[in-house]
Amino acid sequence: MTKERIGFIGVGLMGHGMAKNLVTKGWPLTVMGHRNRAPVENLVALGAVEAKTPREMAAQVDVVVLCVTGSPQVQALFEGPDGLRAAGRPLLVIDCSTSDPSVTLKLAAALAADGITLIDAPLGRTPAEAEAGTLDVMAGGSDEAFARAAPILNAFAGKVVHTGPTGSGHTMKLLNNFLSMGYAALYAEALMIADKTGITDKTFDSVIRGGRMDCGFYQTFSKWFLDKDPEAHKFTLSNAFKDTTYLASLSNALGSGNPVGAAVRNSFGLAVGLGHGDEYVPKLVDIVRKANRG
């Protein structure tokens, strides 16, 4: 079977590993860089070609994969004389960012008028799994669009779930991140109280590890407070704040109360407000501890 030509925008922490899996598994790949040239040059060395603008990319591919920060960045890629829409081609666009579902639905409807099909396919797990090709993907879109996207998604994922219509992937991703960031906030506060009462991190871990409160998230999160491994859980506090803010927006649109979500969001809002937005989520332990010293 002839592989479709793939464009990839956003070859950062997650995107580089995803794009690398595509090009090394035989997909014709065009990439577009941003600030960091190293991943682009690595992918070009592996056989990818580089496009300078979204429009240039759209003119030479069949499918575009987006792995950028969120809704504003996704929307911007379609706009203006150099945007994806300007090429005037019927593309399949796979949005792997974590975005606001309401924005995704509006954008998908607008793009459909131009013959562009948008599906949302946000990611679970970390850059290590992106490199290994074992990410989790939550994909929202029609059955036809999902069937077309599935072989591409399977090139960098170990688990792909069709969550339902367009927008459902981003909704499920927000729920997933609410749970994971909720764990982060809980662990950070628990570790702060443990520290103030003389319970060491090692003792805390000895009780949690292997018990019912252990999980894959804890195992990467704990590498910071146990081993000071800064690379163990590469997801920024600003992204955590963004995603919990999107969840709050969704809950408001549904007319639903989410008091636990508000508390979790406030934990990350405090961290970002104190200037720690570019640091990774496990640093929340240190931030909460410092805020409670007296």
Residue positions annotated with a catalytic role: 173
Residue 228, amino acid: K
> Which helix (H) or strand (E) segment is 204 a member of?
helix 201-208
The gap from C-alpha 61 to its chain's centroid, in whole angstroms, comes to 23
Distance set, CA 233 to CA 5, 44, 52, 84, 205 (Å):
32, 27, 31, 32, 17
Task: Label the pairing between strands 135-140 and 29-32.
Answer: unpaired
Token representation of residue 70:
């969120």
Q: What span, in angstroms and rounded, lies between the C-alpha atoms of 145 and 93?
A: 10
Are residues 173 and 139 in contact, defined by beta-carbon separation less than 8 angstroms? no
| DSSP-based helix, strand, coil % in the chain, nearest 5 | 55, 15, 30
